[in-house]
Structures are given as structure tokens and as C-alpha cells.
Amino acid sequence: RISSATSLSSAIINTRLQELVKLFKERTEKVKEKLTDPDVTSDDESPTTSPAAAPVPPLGGETEGDKPAGDEHYCEMLCCTFKYRPWLDHLKNYRFPSSIDPLTNLMYVLWLFFVVMAWNWNCWLIPIRWAFPYQTPANIHFWLVVDYLCDLIYLLDILVFQTRLQFVRGGDIITDKKAMKENYLRSQRFKMDVVCLLPLDFFYFKVGVNPLLRFPRCLKYMAFFEFNNRLEAILSKAYIYRVIRTTAYLLYSLHVNSCLYYWASAYEGLGSTTWVYDGEGNSYIRCYYWAVKTLITIGGLPDPKTLFEIVFQLLNYFTGVFAFSVMIGQMRDVVGAATAGQTYYRSCMDSTIKYMNFYKIPKTVQNRVKTWYEYTWHSQGMLDESELLVQLPDKMRLDIAIDVNYNIVSKVALFQGCDRQMIFDMLKRLRSVVYLPNDYVCKKGEIGREMYIIQAGQVQVLGGPDGKTVLVTLKAGSVFGEISLLAAGGGNRRTANVVAHGFANLFILDKKDLNEILVHYPESQKLLRKKAKKMLKNSNKPKDEKGAPGDPLIIPPKADTPKLFQAALAATGRMGGKGPLAQLRWRLKELKAMPA
């Protein structure tokens, strides 16, 4: 009993020691993996809350985990309960920012929109109220209310927004309240804003409500140009806004000219001559029609009679020719900038077609080249992405490359555990290539010097005796050819043909570029070579190796006789016993003696 208890305890101890050794080995492997790849998360469970510190569930039995993720708010009205969003709470808890980034803050762009609307009210309505008899004692209250509402917007812009704008000094972004206020007070913008709000309205008590006294309100043009810059920076198709703005310039010049024509007609006397406005119909529409014919120099206008009319018409013609030519030139620049990419694409296409026709390239090849041009342009909006990125600093190119390619490259098994900075450097070396349907990405027997990452589309791996059997179809995010980057002896040969199934966008990494990067990362180079050897060893294993699935047999081989059964038969023979085992042993001898 003592010996059996001792053996039992030793077996338990041995089992426990083996478990401890296994746990230590697993822990060591995890630590090694974490050291080689910092991104690997730990499998340790998070500490659970002790029963003493656990919250007590409410009486209804509902715990915190049973509550919905978002807070629900209800409003009882009459006999019903309605669900509403807590926007009032957000509005009450909102705090105005102490500093505003004028380049990226959308709230500031929205505020500039209201400032520009107030500025446009003054620019468009002051001339028309001065020239035309639209401002009367009956509606003077409406005009004054809107005027002073615009003045309030101007004042809030000075006191609240402009004094909180961040600025750059010596390369640093200044967010200090006192420094931002001093910067605005010393700027030209502040001087113009003060002139805009000159209180000339006090002269109303002496000369009456004359809209010309509000002319300084039109000098807040800096806000208009700043709004244009900020809006164009956030619009995806800014050229549309540029066309609208240029058209507004033309309409405003015609608007001012129509106001001047009505003033000149009133000065000469309405209907006094054939040149002035006769006072019939809608005065603004008639004067605007005359301004359009004058500025565009269509002709067909009545001849001026008096010296004042002649001088006015001469100045009008000169101004019209100059303004109209400027507008046409600006419109041409806007449209040209909007279609610059399309023009470049067309010129490249025409030059390529001219080259192929000169050398008498077959039509099939020409059609494939045209298809490549059309698909590349429509899919990515440019022919070569590197032309766009070459203008950016190295840091910005890296940021764009990380956002576009890092999620794909980080999933490649070959680069798992490598230095993160090495992967960042590798992202900048990737080249984007478009393959047409049935294009060979690589052929069997070629020396592999590139790795391919599928960005969009599909490719098919072909094999078999005829080389046309589809072995596997790789989709977006898949990687192939990665072993060729680190294979010894100058590279390994491709073992199958890879063909594009439809249009395929691929990223290519050259072996030369990777070697230039690995010079600076020796640890990652050792890890990559170790992984490459392991992957090559696995890929070169024969199929009939032990433990690997071989060719299926039609008649499976006979199983060997169990060793324990053989020992029992041998013991029966030595003892010379009789029974079922002895008969079975005699029968087996007869079977062995039979010919195969």
C-alpha cells in the first residue's frame, strides 16, 4: 500500500511538472512573439470584478448589461409617450471654443457664410435703394431692421470670432487668448472692419435715411475672399463654385450699371429724350435690359442727345468692353482648370495612337492600349498616381500610403513581426499597375522578382498538364509571389501562370526596393529570411511524404496484426495449449503458407 501510494503520488507530481513545463513553454513563445511583433495582443483575460465590488442589480432584475447602449429620452404629452433626442441638453452644455482653427473648423466656415450674406445684402441693395424709388416711408422700417441685423453680424464677427482665430508665429500655432486678440488688433483686417462699422447712421437725423451713408458696409470684402478660399478647400468639385462666382461677378456689374442708368435718366428727366428711360413698365427690368445691351456691346441703342448723355455712354462703353473681356478671360481660366485633367488624358491618348499608327502596330494591340487608357482614367481619375504624390512632402506621402495600403500589407504573413518603420518605408515603394482581362501577371518558369498585392479585381492561378486549368481564384486583399522577394540564388522560378480575370488593380513591390530597405533593418531581414526558408521548405515538400495526403488507393493495404495479439499467439504456441487461440494460430500458419 505504501509503495502504491508512493507511485501514485510520483505519477501525479510528474503529470503536474509536465503541465508546468508546457505552460512555461507557451509563455516563452508568447513573449518571443510579442518581442518580435509589438502589435500582438495578449491572450490574458482581463481581471474580473470581485463580488464585493460588483454593483447590486436593481429590484426589477435588470443589470447594467441589459440596458441599451444609448440613453433613451421620453417626453410625455397628453396620453402618449414620445421619444425625442436630447438636443436641448447638448445645447445647454455646449461651450464656445476658446480658439478656432480657420483652416479646418467647419463652424467658422458656416459663420463666414452668414457674414458674406450680410455683405451681399449691403452690396446689392444699397445701390438699388439709392437709385430706384423702392425705399419709401411706408417700408422704411423693414429696410432698417435688416440693415441693423447685418450690422449685428458684423459686430459679432469682430468681438467673438476674429479675436479667437489661431495663427502661426515662428512655426508654432498660437492658441493663447491674449496673443490671438493682439494679432487681430494689429492686422489690416481689423482696420477694415472698423471702417465698415463707422456710425454714419447718425446723419439720418439731419439728411434723412440715405442709403449711401451705409456704403462703408461694402468694404468688408476680406470676409468674402476668405469664405471663397475656405469653401473651395472643402468642396470636392470646387470649379462649379468658381463658375457660379464668376457669373455672379458679371450679374453684379450689370446690376450696378442698371442703377447708374436709372440715376442718369432721373437726372436728365424720365422720358425727356429718346436715350433716357421713359418711365414705363418695371423700371429695374427695363434698366437691366439696357445695361446688358451696353456692356455686351450688342448695339441697337438710341443715340445720346446731350453732352451728359454722350459722356455717360462713352464711359459706359469703355467700362463694358473692359469688364466683359475680364469676365470672359476669367471664365475661360475656370473652365480650363476644371478640364485640365481631361485635356491631359486626351493629349496622351492622341500621342499614343499617333505613335502606334506610325509604327503600324496591330489593331488588336491598339485596342488593348485604348482600353487600358480608358479604364485607368475612369477608375482612378489619373494615369499615374506617382505624378500627384511627387509634389507632396515625404511625410504626407507616407501618411497617404499608410491610409491606402497599410491594411492590406499588414495582413501579409511574410511581414508579420517585422519592424513597423520598415513596413512604412516599404509602403512608399509600392507601385500601382492595372491589368486588362486575360493579361498574364506572371508566367510559369519566369524568375520571380516582384510581390503582388491585389487592390481590386481578381486573378486566376492556372496549372495542370495544359496550363489552362484554374487552380485557385485570388480576390482583393490576397498576396502572391512574396517568397520570390527573399529567395536565395537570385530568385525562384514561378510554378504557375497567373492571369487577370477581368480588370485588376495590383500593387507591385520589387525585390531591389525591398533589399534597399532591409539594409537599415537587420533584425527584420533575419526574420524575413527565416520565414522565407520555412515557407520554401513547406512548399517544396513531396506529396507522398509521411503525414501528407498521397494519391488515393483503389485497394487499401491490409492492416498489420496488433503486437499484443501476436504476443498472445506466441505464448499459446510455446505452452502447447488448446482452444480458440491455438486454432487461430494454426489457421494463420496455413494462410501464410498459401501463395500470394
Q: What is the mean pLDDT of residues 487-497?
A: 69
Mean pLDDT, the chain, integer:
79
**Window from 11-25, 281-295, 364-378, 398-412 with minimum mean pLDDT:** 398-412
Q: Is the pLDDT of residue 58 over 60?
A: no
- Between CA 206 and CA 163 the distance in angstroms is 35
* Phi, psi torsion values for 275, nearest 5 degrees: -85, -35
442: which strand partners? 498
What DSSP element (H or E) covers 442? Answer: strand 440-442
Q: Within 13 Å, how many C-alpha atoms sit on residue 231's CB side?
A: 18
The model's pTM:
0.62
Q: Is the pLDDT of residue 57 over 50?
A: no
- Between CA 506 and CA 476 the distance in angstroms is 9
Q: For cell 488593348, name the residue.
A: 368
Radius of gyration of the chain (CA): 43
> Measured between alpha carbons, how far is residue 456 from residues 68, 320, 434, 474 in Å?
39, 55, 9, 10
Helix (H, G, I), strand (E, B) or coil at 302: coil
- Between CA 115 and CA 136 the distance in angstroms is 27
Q: Is the pLDDT of residue 80 over 70?
A: no
Is residue 304 within 8 Å of 312, Cβ to Cβ?
yes
Q: Is the pLDDT of residue 86 over 90?
A: no
> Measured between alpha carbons, how far is residue 187 from residues 167, 180, 183, 197, 222 in Å?
12, 11, 6, 16, 12
Closest CA to 388 of 331, 344, 434: 344
pLDDT digits (tens, 9 = 90+) for 171-218: 888 999 999 999 999 999 999 999 999 999 999 999 989 999 999 999
What DSSP element (H or E) covers 452? Answer: strand 450-463
The grid coordinates listed for 1 are: 500500500
Confidence grade of residue 42 (pLDDT, cut at 50, 70, 90):
very low
Long-range contacts of residues 265-273, Cβ cutoff 8 Å, at least 24 apart: 266/131, 267/308, 268/306, 268/308, 268/309, 273/304, 273/305, 273/306, 273/309
Which CATH superfamily does the domain covering 393-540 fall into? Jelly Rolls (2.60.120.10)
- Between CA 315 and CA 308 the distance in angstroms is 11
pLDDT digits (tens, 9 = 90+) for 319-331: 888 888 888 888 8
pLDDT digits (tens, 9 = 90+) for 547-556: 444 444 434 4
Buried b (16+ CB within 10 A) or exposed e, 279-311: eeeebbebbbebbbebbeeeeeeeebeeeebee
With 0-12 / 13-18 / 19 or more C-beta atoms within 10 angstroms meaning exposed / middle / buried, residue 30 is middle
pLDDT digits (tens, 9 = 90+) for 286-316: 999 999 888 777 767 888 889 999 999 899 8
Q: For cell 485557385, name the residue.
A: 472
Indicate the Cα dihedral angle 565, 568, 574, 580, nearest 10°: -90
Domain 237-383 has CATH 1.10.287: yes
* Phi, psi torsion values for 165, nearest 5 degrees: -80, 130
Is residue 575 within 8 Å of 582, Cβ to Cβ?
no
pLDDT digits (tens, 9 = 90+) for 434-461: 888 888 998 888 888 888 888 888 999 9
With 0-12 / 13-18 / 19 or more C-beta atoms within 10 angstroms meaning exposed / middle / buried, residue 433 is middle
- Between CA 461 and CA 495 the distance in angstroms is 10
pLDDT of residue 258: 94
* Phi, psi torsion values for 126, nearest 5 degrees: -60, -45
